[in-house]
Amino acid sequence: MLVALNNINKIFNGNHILKNISLTIDENDKIGLVGNNGCGKSTLLKIITGSTDPDRVTEKDGVISFASKTTIGYLEQMGGLDSAKTVMEEMQSVFAPVHRAIDRLREIEREITRGDNSSADEYQQLTSWIEANDGYNTDVKIRMILNGMGFSENELNRTVSGFSGGEKTRLCISKLLLEEPNLLILDEPTNHLDFRTIMWLEDYLRSYKGAVLIVSHDRYFLDRLCTSICEIERGTLTRYRGNYSAFVRQREENDARRAKEYELQQKEIAKLEDYVAKNLVRASTTKMAQSKRKQLEKMERVEKPYHDMRTAKIRFTYPVEPPIDVLKVKNIDISVGEGKARKTLVDGIDFEVRRGEKVGIIGDNGIGKSTLLKVIQEKNEHKGLVRWNSNIKISYFEQESTNLNKELTVMEEIHSRYPSMSDLEVRSLLAQVRLTGENVFKQTGVISGGERAKLCFAIMMQEHGNVLILDEPTNHLDLASKEAVEEALAEYTGTVIFVSHDRYLLSRIADRLIELRDGNYRCHNYGFEKYLDVLRDEQAEQKRIADAEKSARTAEIAREKAVKTYRSKQQRSADASRKNEMRRLEKEIDELQNKIDFLTEEISHEDVYSDYELMADKCLEIENLKQKMEENFEKLIELEEQ
């Protein structure tokens, strides 16, 4: 046990946000914390980290117990960084105690050289401590983490202040991973990360030697990483075993069971109340009626099920079927800026879209995905050809909702587009996307991003487009709303062209993908899962080439250092033994890498990552193999330098 929470309560402005929350976090737990926006997830994290105190309803409430060995690392968005330092300096600050120990070690060595052996015991203790903390490999760790988080070697000497907000968040995650707390708390860690970085972070956290508690709307991330899911709903916390998909199944089963129990109990209550009402005043049946009334009073009432009672009901329809060939794009460019400042991001793009296809557009932030959607709608200047066929009706979802009038209320926005709709019809439409109550009378400029997205979906439902163009449709939405949008797109029989970083959405909806990269693009005529397999193969091949180049450079350096001098028989024998040992180490390193690659592939399979004990064993074996390979590299370097 690392942390145990017992009866945690939090009240804001009279609202009971958290009610008697109890949770135990053990070593190696990988817990996903989910719930609707505003349910108290971030508040619970702050209580665990000590930045917010729980409220006490009784003296026994609000108890938080920590094991003596517990160390907590909490991701602060763009916080905890020294803006004046370089990236490398900031990362090295994590290992300040190690660096001080090494400096002291060098100082003692100089003392010993001068004949002063008074610190010999301290020297031995420091040596053991540094080795136990892997102190001589800190730069290797730093480069490995930063590379995985998407930072190149050229960026290591840049000052932190020169990075964007998203880049600083990635630096915060990197620093936190280097600190290696045994309880890692992450709030929306996949924001600002591209697919490659998210995949690396997933693999790293799956083998992380500690517990991880994550708040995330990234269902794919929760699916691949988590061993249990905790849901906060109406102030209470329920824990489910397994990943996100297992949680959804169990929650549906629990809801069905609770609904059945509630229904049966209500029938029993009605029956007892009817008996009491009819027989209480009769002398012959008064005692029996009083007994039934006491039975009613003592009955432990089953709470009325409330989950998914308020989920959005989104449905896209269209009256006119388009031709088979919907869109043809020939030799277009994606460019931004005006005049001399105009910059071409990608050039020479060709693709076609046919009726009923669902095409996902993916790529890093700033690569031009949103601009491409505007180009194919002729909203941005471009070269080349964009040709839509006849009978095409486009319905467009814009990421920033700039098509809404911020001065109008939600109701007025709908009325301005569809004047013939009555207030009742507008309220009914908005209720379908879960915009109800006072929210419909608020201006669109003050409602939340999620509420604006729901308003846009309501408008799209009225547009009846046979082609949907969507720019990050699940951004700002809670999990229930994301699932409603997915269901609507899955059932939609028209054509969909959409930009998204939501891997769950891409996996379920996209038939094929268009990937934008630096200066070029690629069309993948398959879905997202196949794309990930291809991407992993490409990364493995790149690593193999990099390792081969590294081995070649190492061998070249060794040859350059060789001194062509006369050697005695003993020297030649020693040199031959050294080379044999180097060959043996190189062969063993290759074998270890093959084993690591095989195990890494194994742990991506559902039958492995769904089995907690098997997963833990595989991750431990990978770690041991990596340690052995690192030892062999060190031996190899020592032999090369001889």
* Average pLDDT value for residue range 555-576: 62
For residue 203, the surrounding DSSP H or E stretch is helix 195-206
Please, which pLDDT band fits residue 572 given cuts at 50, 70 and 90? low
Q: How far apart are CA 583 and CA 533, in angstroms?
A: 33
Q: Which residues contact 280 (CB under 8 A, 6 or more apart)?
A: 286, 289, 290, 293
C-alpha Rg value of the chain to the nearest Å: 31
For residue 578, the surrounding DSSP H or E stretch is helix 569-602
Is the confidence at residue 92, as pLDDT, over 60? yes
For residue 462, the surrounding DSSP H or E stretch is helix 449-463
E strands along 234-366, which residues? Answer: 236-241, 325-336, 343-354, 358-363
Give the three-state DSSP class for 500: coil
The tens digit of pLDDT for each residue in 99-142 reads: 999 999 889 888 888 888 888 888 889 989 998 888 888 998 99
More confident residue, 402 or 329: 329
SS (H, E, C) 350-368: EEEEECCCEEEEEECCCCC
For residue 413, the surrounding DSSP H or E stretch is helix 410-417
The tens digit of pLDDT for each residue in 196-244 reads: 888 899 999 999 999 999 998 889 999 999 999 999 988 899 999 999 9
Is the confidence at residue 307, as pLDDT, over 80? no
Lowest mean pLDDT among 108-117, 323-332, 426-435, 575-584: 575-584
Which residues share a beta bridge with 73?
184
For residue 630, the surrounding DSSP H or E stretch is helix 612-641
Q: Please give the torsion angle defined by the CA atoms of residues 543, 199, 187 and 450, in that order, rounded to the nearest 10 degrees.
A: 140
Q: How far apart are CA 212 and CA 225, in angstroms?
A: 9
More confident residue, 254 or 490: 490
Q: Please give the torsion angle defined by the CA atoms of residues 241, 245, 249 and 255, in that order, rounded to the nearest 10 degrees.
A: 80
Q: How far apart are CA 395 and CA 163, in angstroms?
A: 36
* Token output for 136: 């001589």
Query: Phi/psi of residue 40, each to 5°?
Result: 115, 15
Query: Phi/psi of residue 315, each to 5°?
Result: -150, 125
Please, which pLDDT band fits residue 470 given cuts at 50, 70 and 90? very high
Q: How far apart are CA 503 and CA 487, in angstroms?
A: 15
Is the confidence at residue 642, as pLDDT, over 70? no
The tens digit of pLDDT for each residue in 153-205 reads: 889 999 998 888 778 888 999 999 999 999 999 988 887 788 888 889 999 99
- For the beta carbon of residue 435, count every other beta carbon within 10 angstroms: 23
Q: Which residues contact 495 (CB under 8 A, 6 or more apart)?
A: 322, 326, 327, 353, 354, 355, 356, 357, 358, 466, 467, 468
Q: Which residues contact 570 (CB under 8 A, 6 or more apart)?
A: none
Query: Phi/psi of residue 202, each to 5°?
Result: -60, -50
pLDDT the model gives residue 567: 47
pLDDT the model gives residue 282: 79
Is the confidence at residue 564, as pLDDT, over 50? no
Q: Tell me the average pLDDT of the chain.
A: 88
**What's CA 276's distance to the chain center, in Å?**
56
pLDDT the model gives residue 566: 44
Q: How far apart are CA 3 and CA 26, in angstroms?
A: 7
* Half-sphere exposure at residue 511, Cβ-oriented, CA atoms within 13 angstroms: 14
Which residues share a beta bridge with 237?
232
